[in-house]
């Protein structure tokens, strides 16, 4: 597979977590751009300490970045850039749920987990290619269930092409130049949402995404800005 600079691929069979492999290599001084995939994971992890169901057939991939954000930008905006690139690689039906879930028809089809260790950022992506896990606190789907026939390696190559371009823009000009494309795919803007921020849940109208990647939520005439948290908009979301 020919990959855009600086990406290079190593493939594995069953592993604990592709994020573990990237983190170990980062500690050993590996340069930015190593990409690792596995056919299955025995200890796949998701956000908020959840586990990530990882049977063979779906895409499990992690890659190493050593980001140097521009002065006014925030490394957290990279998670929006990863999600945007993945949605662009999947194509039209893919939508974005702040900060970095990819949805089709309101159901989650992919998740992204960023883990920072010193100056290294491990980006882990799980995409439901053929399996959607059961028993999740939110609706889930797979590309196959949505009638999208895509192999793991083809999707990864398309993603890396999109991400390499978007990452170059982010490095040169920051997130603000990608914001409109993120907004074109955003779900929930203008609607009432609940946001879990730490242990608290805030409810209000999701107004906008700022150039620094944070969102504004209006409640009883007061506008609050949040740069982290999790949007909950299904009654079952927990």
Residues of this chain that bind ligand BTN (CB under 6 A): 17-19, 41, 44-47, 50, 52, 60-62, 111-113, 124-126
Minimum distance between the CB of residue 133 and ligand BTN, rounded to whole angstroms? Answer: 11
Residues 6+ apart with CB under 8 A from 29: none
Phi, psi torsion values for 133, nearest 5 degrees: -65, 150
Q: How far is the CB of 56 from ligand BTN (least distance, A)?
A: 13
Smaller CB distance to ligand BTN: residue 152 or 193?
152
Which three-class secondary structure state does DSSP give residue 137? coil
Measured from the CB atom, the residue of 41 and 77 that comes closer to ligand BTN is 41
Nearest distance in Å: CB 127, ligand BTN: 8
Query: Considering beta carbons, is residue 60 or 175 the nearer one to ligand BTN?
Result: 60
Cβ–Cβ under 8 Å, residues 125 and 86: yes
Q: How is 185-206 classified by DSSP, letter by letter?
A: TBS-TTSEEEEEETTEEEEEEE
CA atoms within 13 A on the CB side of 111: 22
d(CA 169, CA 176): 10
Helix axes of 152-173 and 77-90: crossing angle, nearest 10 degrees: 140
CB of 123 to ligand BTN, least distance (A): 9
- Closer residue to ligand BTN (CB): 112 or 193: 112
Q: Which is nearer to ligand BTN, 44 or 67 (CB)?
A: 44
Cβ closest to ligand BTN, residue 8 vs residue 50: 50
Q: What are phi and psi of 74, to 5 degrees?
A: -130, 135
Least distance from ligand BTN to the Cβ atom of residue 223, Å:
27
Question: How far apart (Å, rounded) are the C-alpha atoms in residues 229 and 238?
Answer: 13
CB of 227 to ligand BTN, least distance (A): 18
């Amino acid at each position: 597979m020919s990959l855009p600079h600086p990406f290079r691929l190593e493939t594995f069979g069953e592993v604990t977590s592709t994020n573990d492999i990237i983190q170990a290599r980062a500690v050993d001084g590996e340069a930015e751009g190593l990409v690792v995939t596995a056919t299955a994971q025995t200890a796949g992890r998701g956000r908020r300490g959840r586990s990530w169901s990882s049977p063979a057939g779906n895409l499990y991939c992690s890659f190493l970045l050593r980001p140097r954000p521009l002065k006014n930008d925030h490394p957290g905006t990279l998670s929006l850039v990863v999600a945007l690139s993945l949605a662009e690689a999947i194509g039209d039906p893919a939508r974005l749920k702040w900060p970095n879930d990819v949805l089709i028809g309101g159901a989650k089809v992919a998740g992204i987990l960023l883990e920072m260790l010193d100056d290294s950022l491990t980006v882990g992506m799980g995409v439901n290619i053929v399996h959607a896990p059961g028993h999740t606190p939110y609706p889930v789907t797979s590309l196959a269930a949505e009638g999208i026939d895509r192999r793991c390696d083809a999707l990864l190559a398309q993603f890396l092409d999109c991400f390499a371009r978007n990452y170059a823009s982010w490095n040169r000009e920051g997130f603000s130049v990608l914001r409109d494309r993120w907004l074109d795919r955003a779900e929930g803007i203008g609607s009432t949402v609940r946001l879990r921020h730490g242990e608290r849940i805030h409810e209000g109208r999701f107004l906008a995404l700022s150039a620094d990647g944070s969102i504004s939520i209006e409640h009883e005439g007061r506008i609050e800005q949040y740069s982290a948290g999790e949007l909950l908009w299904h009654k079952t979301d927990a």
